[in-house]
Amino acid sequence: MAENDFRLEERLTAWHIGIALGALFLGSWFGPLQVLEHIGIDLYGKLAPGIKSYYQGLSLHGVLNALVWTTFFITGFLTFCAVHSLKMKLRYPWVNILGLVLMVAGLLMAAAPLLLNAATVLYTFYPPLKANPFFYIGLTLVVVGSWLTGFGLYFTLAGWRKAHPGARTPLIAFGSVLTMVMWQIASLGIAAEMLFLLIPWSLGMVQGTDPLLARTLFWFTGHPIVYFWLLPAYVSWYGMLPKQAGGKLFSDPLARLAFWLFLVLSIPVGLHHQFTDPGISPTWKALHAILTYAVTFPSLLTAFTVIASLELGGRARGGKGLFGWIRKLPWKDPSFSAQAVAMLIFALGGVGGIINASYSVNLVVHNTLWIVGHFHLTLGTAVTLSFIGITYWLVPRLAGKELWSLRAARIQVWLWLIGMLPFSLSHHFLGLRFGVPRRTMLGASPYLSPEWNPLLILAALGGLLLWASLLLYFFVVVGTVFGSRKLAQPAEMPVAEALRDARETPAWLDSWRPWLVATIILILLSYGPPLIDLVRSADLSSPGLRVW
Indicate which residues carry an active-site annotation: 223, 227, 374-376, 438-439
- The least CB distance from residue 351 to ligand HAS, in Å, is 7
Q: Which of residues 383-422 bind ligand HAS (CB under 6 A)?
A: 383
By the 8 A CB rule, do 210 and 539 touch?
Answer: yes
Q: Which of residues 120-179 bind ligand HAS (CB under 6 A)?
A: 124
**Interacting stretch for ligand HAS, rule CB under 6 A, among 34-42, 101-109, 291-299, 398-406?**
291-299
By the 8 A CB rule, do 27 and 429 touch?
Answer: no
Site map (CB under 5 A) of Cu ion, residues 249-268, x = contact: --------------------
Is residue 502 part of the contact set for ligand HAS (CB under 6 A)? no
* Cα–Cα distances in angstroms (integers) from residue 273 to residues 38, 217, 223, 246, 365, in the given order: 25, 12, 8, 40, 12
- For ligand HAS, give the closer residue by CB, 158 or 347: 347
- The least CB distance from residue 57 to ligand HAS, in Å, is 16
- The least CB distance from residue 223 to Cu ion, in Å, is 4
Closest residue to ligand HAS, based on beta-carbon distance: 350
**Interacting stretch for ligand HAS, rule CB under 6 A, among 138-146, 210-218, 339-347, 408-416?**
339-347
As a whole number of Å, the end-to-end CA separation of the chain is 56
Is residue 326 part of the contact set for ligand HAS (CB under 6 A)? yes
- For ligand HAS, give the closer residue by CB, 326 or 406: 326
- For ligand HAS, give the closer residue by CB, 203 or 344: 344
The DSSP bridge partners found for residue 209 are 542
Q: Considering only residues 137, 153, 226, 291, which one is a binding residue for ligand HAS as defined by CB under 6 A? A: 226
Compute the C-alpha angle 18/19/21, nearest 5°. 65
Q: Minimal CA–CA distance to 357: which of 304, 296, 301?
A: 296
DSSP string, 277-319: -TTS-HHHHHHHHHHHHHHHHHHHHHHHHHHHHHHHHHHHTT-
Is residue 374 part of the contact set for Cu ion (CB under 5 A)? no
- For ligand HAS, give the closer residue by CB, 174 or 218: 218
Is residue 230 part of the contact set for ligand HAS (CB under 6 A)? yes
Q: E strand or H helix at 223, and its extent?
A: none
Q: Which of residues 75-114 bind ligand HAS (CB under 6 A)?
A: none
Q: What does the H/E/C string look like for 369-422? A: HHHHHHHHHHHHHHHHHHHHHHHHHHHHHHHCECCCCHHHHHHHHHHHHHHHHH
**Interacting stretch for ligand HAS, rule CB under 6 A, among 74-82, 201-209, 294-302, 407-415?**
294-302
Q: How far apart are CA 7 and CA 4, in angstroms?
A: 6
Q: How far apart are CA 23 and CA 21, in angstroms?
A: 5
Is residue 223 part of the contact set for Cu ion (CB under 5 A)? yes
**133-163 vs 171-186: helix crossing angle, rounded to 10:** 140
- For Cu ion, give the closer residue by CB, 70 or 209: 70
Q: How far apart are CA 473 and CA 407, in angstroms?
A: 11
- For ligand HAS, give the closer residue by CB, 229 or 284: 229
Q: How far apart are CA 415 and CA 471, in angstroms?
A: 11
Is residue 346 part of the contact set for ligand HAS (CB under 6 A)? yes
DSSP string, 58-106: HHHHHIIIIIIIHHHHHHHHHHHHHHHHHT---SSHHHHHHHHHHHHHH
- For ligand HAS, give the closer residue by CB, 338 or 531: 338
> Quick one: DSSP state of residue 36?
H
**Interacting stretch for ligand HAS, rule CB under 6 A, among 15-23, 289-297, 386-394, 453-461?**
289-297
Q: How far apart are CA 182 and CA 485, in angstroms?
A: 40
**Interacting stretch for ligand HAS, rule CB under 6 A, among 9-17, 53-61, 343-351, 395-403?**
343-351
Considering CB distances under 5 to 8 angstroms, the limit depending on partner class, which of Cu ion, ligand HAS, none binds residue 47? none
Q: Which of residues 421-480 bind ligand HAS (CB under 6 A)?
A: none
Q: Considering only residues 115, 163, 347, 521, which one is a binding residue for ligand HAS as defined by CB under 6 A? A: 347
Give the CA count within 13 Å in the CB-facing half-sphere of 529. Answer: 11
The DSSP bridge partners found for residue 368 are 437
Considering CB distances under 5 to 8 angstroms, the limit depending on partner class, which of ligand HAS, Cu ion, none binds residue 378? ligand HAS
Considering CB distances under 5 to 8 angstroms, the limit depending on partner class, which of ligand HAS, Cu ion, none binds residue 350? ligand HAS
Considering CB distances under 5 to 8 angstroms, the limit depending on partner class, which of ligand HAS, Cu ion, none binds residue 229? ligand HAS
* Site size for Cu ion (CB under 5 A): 1
239 contact partners, CB below 8 Å, separation of at least 6: 81, 85, 171, 172, 175, 249, 255, 495, 496
The one-letter amino acid at 266: S
By the 8 A CB rule, do 183 and 177 touch?
Answer: no
**Interacting stretch for ligand HAS, rule CB under 6 A, among 177-185, 351-359, 482-490, 515-523?**
351-359
By the 8 A CB rule, do 31 and 58 touch?
Answer: no
> Quick one: DSSP state of residue 505?
S
Is residue 310 part of the contact set for ligand HAS (CB under 6 A)? yes
Q: Note the residues at the interface with ligand HAS (CB under 6 A).
A: 124, 226, 229-230, 272-273, 292, 295-296, 299-300, 302-303, 306-307, 310, 326, 340, 343-344, 346-347, 350, 353-354, 356-357, 362, 366, 371, 374-375, 378-379, 383
Q: Note the residues at the interface with Cu ion (CB under 5 A).
A: 223
